[in-house]
Amino acid sequence: RAPPILRRGRVAHEERVWTRRPRRVMVSGPKARFARRSSAKPAASPPPKGTAPDETRASDEENTIPVNTNSTIDPDALDGSVKASEALVKDVAVSGDATSADNEQQVVAEHAPAVTVAGNSASAASSGEAGSLRKSSMASSQAEGSSNEQSTKPNTAVPPTPPPAALEPKVQAPFVTRPGEVPREVMVERFKRLYVAGASELDVLWANVLRGIEETETSGASQTSHVSLLPLALFDDKTLETRDPHSVWLDPSALAAGVRCRVASCFLDAASKSKSFVPKKSEVARATSFLPGILVAGDASADTYDVKLARDGCLVNGVPRIDICFETEDPRLFVARRAAAFSARAETASALRFELAIDSMPTEFRVPSEVSKEMAKRVVANALGGSRKLFQYCNENTHAEAFKQLLVLESERLWCRSMNAIDFRAAGALTGGGGFEKSEHPSPRQTRGNSARGVAHNGTASTSQRGGLNTHTSVTGGGVAFAAALEKFAFITALTKPEAVTCLSLLRTLNLSLTDKKRAFDVLGVTAGKTAQQRPFTLDQFIEHQRRHASEVAGFVKNEWRSGVKNAVVQSFQECGKGHYNLCEKNRDAFEFSKMKRFLKRTQTQMEDALRSLTETSVAEFSVFMTDAMRADGITIASTNNVTVEWVDGSEKSKGQGVTLPGGQDNRISNQNLPPLFRFEMTIDQGGAPVVDKYGKHGKVPPSFLYTVDLNLFVDSILSLFDFGAGITTGVKTLDPAVMKHLHWTFWPDCASVSAGDPLVLGARENLQNVLQGATALLREYLTKYAEYVPLLRLDVSEETSRLRERRTGEDEDARLGSYLESIDHHELCLREILERVPHEIHVGCFLIDASKVRQTLVQKRETLIEKTKGLIAEAPRKLCDTINKQFTELLTRLELQRDTPEAIQAFRDLGETVPRFCVEQMLVFDETRPFYDALRAALKNLSDEDNAAKATAQFWPAKIRHALRAQTESALQEALKFEEDQLGAQEIFESTTRELIERVDELSELSDMSLTTEFAKRVEQLDAELRNATQHAVVFNRREGVFGKKATDYSNIRATRDAFDPFHKFWTYARDWQVNRTSWWNTPFYGLDATHMDATVSDAFKVMFKMGKAFTTRKLPLQVKNCESIRNELEAFQKYVPLCLALRSPGMRQRHWERISSETGLNVPGTEESTSTEPSTNTEEEVQITSVFSLETLVETGAFETHTQDKMFKVSEVAGKEYAIEQAIDKMVSEWDGIVLEVVEYRETETCVIRVDEAITQALDDHIVMTQAMSFSPFKKPFEAKILEWERTLGMTSEVLDEWLVFQRAWMYLEPIFGSDDIIEQLPLEGKRFAAVDRTWRKTLLRAKSTPGVLTMCDDRNLLEQFRDANRVLDGVQKGLAEYLETKRLAFARFFFLSNDELLQILSQTKNPLAVQPHLRKCFEAISSLDFEDDLTIVAMNSAEGEKVPFAERMKPKGAVEVWLGEVERVMKKSCRHSVVESLVDYLQRPRVEWVTHWPAMTVLGVSATHWTSSTETAIVGKSLTPWYNENVAQLDALTDMVRGKLPGQHRKTLGALITIDVHSRDTLSLLQSQNVTALTDFDWVAQLRYYWEQRSSQLGPAVKDDDGDDDEDEEAGDEKDDEKDGETVDPENQHRTGDLWCNMVQASLPFGYEYLGNQPRLVVTPLTDRCYMTLMGAMHLNLGGAPAGPAGTGKTETTKDLAKGLAMQCVVFNCSDGLDYLAMAKFFKGLASSGAWACFDEFNRIDIEVLSVVAQQLLTIQNAMKSGVSKFVFEGREMRLQHSFAVFITMNPGHAGRSEL
């Protein structure tokens, strides 16, 4: 229903007549709207600058539609209001668009009626409009005349920027007005007036419609009373929208200018004066008036608007579109649209009431029995699909029977409702249709049809653009009036003046001069001019030169050339005077209609053409020049010094490319014989900046080679230069203001220029960019040739020297020297290579690469390494010489030491004897330096002065030492004679002294007076000192006599004298000590008595006196014996006081003990100094008053040593000792904990700490707790009971806190890296918040522990204990949530079930780093050890642990969650393996087998080889040619054997090993078939083999053949028939390998090839027992069961299962069972197996406990039942999960072994 655009006909006004034409047939409804939408075309763009009116006719924002110029409308269809507005709508073609906004830019004229209204145009127009029309007509006619002359030149007239579309009516008319047409601005203004007039009638129009609706509702008030409760906006037909709300009504510029509108009063609350008004959706959507307002804002998606009312400034929010009429839209169309919404709402309400009435009718009546039976039969038949098996099952199953009854009841209910509806309609027909029929209101489709024709509910016609006025013209026939045509041509053309022709000639000369001689780029200068001598240029030089040249040309164009053109025009027409070429014209209107205007326009067009030609030529020439200069084809970069150029002889490339200039000239500008265009300098980036690699490791940027000019900057600079040169013609002013100086010009326009978006410029720029990219690619490729020198840049000379020195430390000198020489040879070889291969300069295409600095740096580094290594060679002998010199210097110093004693002379003699051997040893060491010095001479390395001096000194040391030894020997001889004479005199004196000492010792036997004990003690002590001195002198004299070579003198009398003296010495010294101590102990205050020292001294003295008594008795000295007996008796008498003193002076005695002694014995014994008092005791009167110092004597006098008193004191002392032990133990424990602190250490990069509790701390804590508990049971604990209890509490609290702390720490350390990942936080927000709260607690606690690390100080805190317990409870909940999260991840990617929680969390916590998955791939996939990632993380290949690489058939990026892209890896892995098999099937037939096996992955070789062997064997069986096929097999095996014997890469050798194993079994199988005389494919000996077929049926992996009919059952039957007919079928990979899949058959079992990547693993040798195992296991899997190989250990049960998995390319997970396995772990494993479709081999299955095995059996039964049901999902352990039917479980057992369960 889109309106047409009506085009005007250019005829005389009097020829315009009214005509009548039938309306076109309209198509309405949804199908029509869909057709219009589907035929949408791109919107037409506004006309470009300079486009002539004939070429493009612009429209408004909704674009125009082709116009039917002959369409008319019957004037009788127009009402009075239309006729009244005819004066405003004359000579104008308009259209009102009632289609939706999405149809605004579509061409749908064929679906709409064309409306044309003709009328009198000029006569009825207002005078103002007529004047403007006449002016526009004149200008247009002149412009048309000018365009006829210059039809090939574009018209550059640009319309002014239109106002916002919302402020103008929708008028479909061209922006550029032709002569005789009404200007668009006039049409817009007329429709504005028309719509303003219609807006004043809006209330009247709507009131008429509303009266009709109210009359209808009055007739059916009981039925329509609730219609208004439905929001009217829901029924608004959006297809009637004329404009796009977003781009028109809500355009920001329109809102800023103010869009006027009218709002239905139903949305206004008269009582509310609020500035903001929000309407209720349930409000009755009627209005008797529309209030004016201004649109403020709106929501285009909701189609609601915010309007500010004009009456009081209130803001109405959310006004629906159906309740707002804009000032620039047709009000009559708005009224029709609103009426259509009312009708649609009424129709909807009627339908709702009708359905409600039907639902409210009773349905309790019975269905007739015959109907019920037939209905039940049909329901059951349809539900069961006609299956007899299902029908029988339903009859036998009670649940199915109940469900069938429910279906029957539901069908009966629906039957009753249908009967009610029939009865209701029949009743309505009988009563005259009042009821609830849907025909009460017109349908929305009818309403839309009426609104499209402009008819409202009251029957009045509406005038709109659709029903607007148009002119109709016809051209009368007749002959051609030549005179009139000539007159018209003369009026239009500008060439009637000679001045015009002259001016055009001058202009042509100027333009040709510009286009021929000027260029924006100086291409010729850099190839053949003086500038070319400066080649090669640096980038800055080239850019500066070209920019300077382009600026000069731009200045010439804008100044000299433009001035020349202006002068040519002025000089040519300055004499013309008044008329068409009046340069002094002052009237703007006259100028606009003059020929001068058209001539200036033509001149401007020629100027623009010249500027365009200049730009095009310059751009093309520069592009071709750069293309020729930077050509990269034919350039081969072999190495750093080998860049070859091979031009194609005879082609354009060898001749050089050029530019075809205007005029047909072919001016070729060749760069081949010129120096390179650019000069680049290479340099070295030393690196060192911190960087993080793709593995997340921190490091530094390594050194690298680069150019001083960044290559990307080079490309950008050249492109920027190109843009600058291409834009030099921008900004050239036109001539009009410069020539017509007498006119007033408001602005000075520019000439049109070639824009940056011009196709020519874009093409040239793109071509230049490609050329530059190719040239810079060459530079990058050349730069890669220096990659071999990057290790040299990375090498640190000092580190390399240190490494070389340290590496050779443990070697002998020869090996060290050899390694140094090898290193020098290596560096010299590398240096020669650098000098040969690194050039100073080299040509790479158009670039001269200056590599001199790089060459110099590399040479210097190698030379430095050589010199440093030579220095290491010189360092070794230097160290040896330094050691020799040091040893000889020390020897010489010792030889020249001063000899002032005979011992020194003897030491000199001993040293002299070692000198000869020492010299020989040092010279041998020096000989080790000779190879180093020889090597240095050979290497032309001069020794330094220090090295020469050290070498010379070391050489001449032996002679110097021998000379010094001779001199010192002579001097020592003289010194020895002198010392001998001196000693003879000393010995004579010593003899007399010795005799005197003997006499004095003999006199000691006469001493016996005990009163002189002190004097005698001093005497014997002096004699003891003299005897010691004499003994020492005797030793010295004997030693020196040995030096002099004399016999030693006998001084044994001195020792005998010493032995005789010792008894006297001990007796008198001990006797003196006893007398002194006894007095001291007897009178010393008791509190200061040292009882321990007393005990030791008395015991020791008693023993000595006993021994001395015996000695004196032997010597018969009775007086001395008597003295000994006397002292011994005194000691024995005193010993009875010692025990009590020890008891009373025990350190455990406290005041309470003294008080107890006093109370029990009645004695007041002061234990301390403070307890000593001069006051009398408060006890009994018999107690002794202490008036002096209390001493041992006092204690004896008090009777304390009586037996009964002494026993009481001993008991108190014993108690004190036990209590003291407890006190000491407690104090010791406390003191030990004072120094024990928690070790608080930083934990990774968490910015917090953890604690380390040493085992010694926990052991000490446990020991102290046990010790304290033991003390608490001690009977002596009472004085310390409170202290013990407090200490026990402290230790217990500390132990509990430490236990909870360590539990907390373990959980926190486990969870911290997990919740440190943003991905985990996003997935577990609740657990993340809980952990964050606990983490804050942890950090605060550790901060406190770091400040106060004492164990007791920190841990003796009950609040801390409760805090830790709460935190552990929270972390338990977090771990449960984490476990559920891991379960969801495992369900998303089933192979995660094979990973532990820690491994899975390590992956999930680094989801942003796909490389973190690499270490865990081996557990997820059978053989993938790693993936190959490119720099952008694109995965391109997979690698096995054996080193085999298989490229992916589809490149993929790890996008999304890790479980998602790992699933993609699994898919691409299988796709790649299948692709490899498919391609290899074809390649097997195209190349020799020995060559074929080395071109494909190992698993592909084995699978495809087996497939072709199966095909060939069946062919041989059918053709009865097994013997030739057997011989061919043997030949193939021999060929593989020959390959193995030769040199092969490791991967190929492994592949051939597995292939030979399979081929040997194949050979044995053929031998068996021959011996059994197999002649048919159905023979058991053949079908019992494992066979491979490529079949045209799909597994779950490969692409299936399309099922066009969608009948799955028929396809399955066809597949079964194909299996039955497979006899004799052969593989034809050429035609069939693109579809189908590889299948493995054995007897009746047929299983798909799994395409799991297996790597390059060996295969098991197949024995007859292996074949029987394969057959059994294949049959079990065919029945959806598992296998249980049983047998002794080591017989290959597990390996056979694994090898079958390899044969079928399935993942097989081997799990070693143990008695510690529970059912939860097994359930987790089964989930992974069932979801991924992998195989599992449970080794030693009967080691699991029998209780667990019962649950495992139920779990297996659940999975097997699901597989038998054929479902893709099933419920396992309470969770729904996927099921892959390739799942299989195998168990192996060793029956009869210990610890095994009986199954």
Q: Are 243 and 165 in contact (CB under 8 A)?
A: yes
The interaxial angle of helices 902-927 and 945-955, nearest 10 deg, is 120
Asked if the model's pLDDT at residue 96 lies above 70, the reply is: no
Q: Are 615 and 517 in contact (CB under 8 A)?
A: no
pLDDT in tens, 774-803: 888 888 888 888 888 888 888 888 877 777
Query: In whole angstroms, what is the distance from residue 1253 CA to residue 1235 CA?
Result: 14
Query: In whole angstroms, what is the distance from residue 1439 CA to residue 1472 CA?
Result: 13
pLDDT of residue 1588: 94
Say which range, 417-431, 603-617, 1278-1292, has the weakest mean pLDDT.
417-431
pLDDT of residue 281: 39
Chain-centroid distance of CA 83 in Å reads: 74
Count of residues in the chain = 1799
- Residue matched to tokens 């003369």: 490
The Cα angle at residue 1771 between residues 1767 and 1775, in degrees rounded to 5 = 140
Is 991 strand, coil or helix?
helix
Query: In whole angstroms, what is the distance from residue 1225 CA to residue 1267 CA?
Result: 9
- Please provide the average confidence, as pLDDT, over all residues in the chain: 76
Query: In whole angstroms, what is the distance from residue 859 CA to residue 867 CA?
Result: 12
The residue-averaged pLDDT of 1483-1490 equals: 91
pLDDT of residue 1: 33
Chain-centroid distance of CA 574 in Å reads: 77
* Helix intervals (H) in 630-758: 652-655, 711-726, 736-739
Higher pLDDT, 556 or 80: 556
- Residue matched to tokens 């290596």: 826
Say which range, 88-97, 214-223, 302-311, 925-934, has the weakest mean pLDDT.
88-97
Is pTM beyond 0.75 here? no
Chain-centroid distance of CA 449 in Å reads: 60
Asked if the model's pLDDT at residue 285 lies above 60, the reply is: no
pLDDT in tens, 1348-1378: 888 888 899 999 999 999 999 999 999 898 8
Compute, in degrees rounded to 10, the torsion defined by CA atoms 1582, 1586, 1592, 1596: 150
At 697, is the pLDDT very low, low, confident or very high (cuts 50, 70, 90)? Answer: low
At 370, is the pLDDT very low, low, confident or very high (cuts 50, 70, 90)? Answer: low
Is 98 strand, coil or helix?
coil
Which DSSP string do the residues of 862-900 spell out, in sequence order?
HHHHHHHHHHHHHHHHHHHHHHHHHHHHHHHHHHTS---
| Tally of CB atoms within 10 A around 431 | 9
Query: In whole angstroms, what is the distance from residue 461 CA to residue 463 CA?
Result: 7
Query: In whole angstroms, what is the distance from residue 802 CA to residue 804 CA?
Result: 5
Q: Are 742 and 584 in contact (CB under 8 A)?
A: yes
pLDDT of residue 673: 57
At 1653, is the pLDDT very low, low, confident or very high (cuts 50, 70, 90)? Answer: very high
pLDDT in tens, 1740-1774: 888 888 888 888 899 899 998 998 888 989 999 88
The residue-averaged pLDDT of 910-920 equals: 83
Q: Report in angstroms the alpha-carbon separations of 777 from 5, 630, 1264.
A: 56, 11, 78
User: Over pLDDT 70: what percentage of the chain?
Assistant: 78
Amino acid identity, position 548: R
Asked if the model's pLDDT at residue 738 lies above 50, the reply is: yes
pLDDT of residue 1564: 94
pLDDT in tens, 479-534: 456 677 777 777 777 777 788 888 888 889 988 988 888 888 888 878 776 777 77
Q: Are 1738 and 1767 in contact (CB under 8 A)?
A: no
pLDDT in tens, 1371-1419: 999 989 888 888 888 888 888 888 888 888 778 777 777 887 888 888 8
pLDDT of residue 132: 40
The residue-averaged pLDDT of 119-128 equals: 34
pLDDT in tens, 1024-1077: 888 888 888 878 877 777 777 777 777 777 888 888 888 888 888 888 888 888
pLDDT of residue 1217: 82
Higher pLDDT, 981 or 1218: 1218
Asked if the model's pLDDT at residue 54 lies above 70, the reply is: no
pLDDT of residue 1447: 92
Amino acid identity, position 194: L
Asked if the model's pLDDT at residue 976 lies above 60, the reply is: yes
Query: In whole angstroms, what is the distance from residue 869 CA to residue 847 CA?
Result: 39
At 428, is the pLDDT very low, low, confident or very high (cuts 50, 70, 90)? Answer: low
Backbone angles phi, psi at 706, to 5 degrees: -160, 170
Q: Are 96 and 2 in contact (CB under 8 A)?
A: no
Query: In whole angstroms, what is the distance from residue 1275 CA to residue 570 CA?
Result: 136
pLDDT of residue 812: 60
Per-residue buried b or exposed e for 981-1005, using 16+ beta carbons within 10 Å of the residue's own CB: eebeeebeebeeebeebeeebeebb
Say which range, 1201-1215, 1480-1494, 1575-1589, has the weakest mean pLDDT.
1201-1215
Q: Are 1350 and 1236 in contact (CB under 8 A)?
A: yes
Query: In whole angstroms, what is the distance from residue 1040 CA to residue 1048 CA?
Result: 9
pLDDT of residue 188: 83
Q: Are 729 and 614 in contact (CB under 8 A)?
A: yes
Q: Which residue, among 917, 838, 819, has the nearest Cα to 876 in the 3D structure?
A: 819
Backbone angles phi, psi at 1224, to 5 degrees: -65, -40
Q: Which residue, among 1197, 1196, 1204, has the nearest Cα to 1157 in the 3D structure?
A: 1204
Asked if the model's pLDDT at residue 1698 lies above 80, the reply is: yes
Query: In whole angstroms, what is the distance from residue 1122 CA to residue 1126 CA?
Result: 6
pLDDT in tens, 1509-1557: 999 999 999 999 999 999 999 999 999 998 888 888 888 889 999 999 9
pLDDT in tens, 984-1014: 777 778 788 888 888 888 888 888 888 888 8
Query: In whole angstroms, what is the distance from residue 410 CA to residue 375 CA?
Result: 11
1336: tokens are 């804050």
Q: Are 605 and 156 in contact (CB under 8 A)?
A: yes
H or E stretch including 116? none
Asked if the model's pLDDT at residue 439 lies above 70, the reply is: no
pLDDT of residue 813: 63
Q: Are 802 and 661 in contact (CB under 8 A)?
A: no
Higher pLDDT, 448 or 307: 307
Query: In whole angstroms, what is the distance from residue 605 CA to residue 612 CA?
Result: 10
The Cα angle at residue 1444 between residues 1439 and 1445, in degrees rounded to 5 = 55
pLDDT of residue 945: 78
1033 burial type by CB count under 10 A (0-12 exposed, 13-18 middle, 19+ buried): middle
At 931, is the pLDDT very low, low, confident or very high (cuts 50, 70, 90)? Answer: confident
| Tally of CB atoms within 10 A around 687 | 15
Q: Report in angstroms the alpha-carbon separations of 677 from 538, 669, 1229.
A: 9, 13, 90
